[in-house]
Amino acid sequence: MTALLEVEDLRVAYGKIEAVKGISFSVEAGQVVTLIGTNGAGKTTTLR
C-alpha cells in the first residue's frame, strides 16, 4: 500500500535547541494516528 504521508529523519531546531530529533513515520490510507507525549516533547512542532 502507498503511504499518504511519509516523513523521514525530521529535525527541527530553534537556534541551538533541537525541538524534534530524527523522527520518521508513515501514514497509510485508513490509519488513525495519534501523537502522545509530555508537554514540550515536540508534538505540535512535528505537525507544523
**Local confidence pLDDT in tens for the 48 residues of the chain:** 789 999 999 999 999 999 899 999 999 999 999 999 999 888 999 888
Model-wide pTM > 0.85: no
User: For position 29, what pLDDT does the model report?
Assistant: 92
Residue of 5, 1, 3, 37 whose CA lies nearest to 21: 37
Residue identified by cell 494516528 is: 33
User: For position 42, what pLDDT does the model report?
Assistant: 87
User: For position 38, what pLDDT does the model report?
Assistant: 94
Cβ partners under 8 Å of residue 47, min gap 6: 35
CA angle 47-29-31, nearest 5°? 65
Residue of 2, 7, 1, 5 whose CA lies nearest to 23: 7
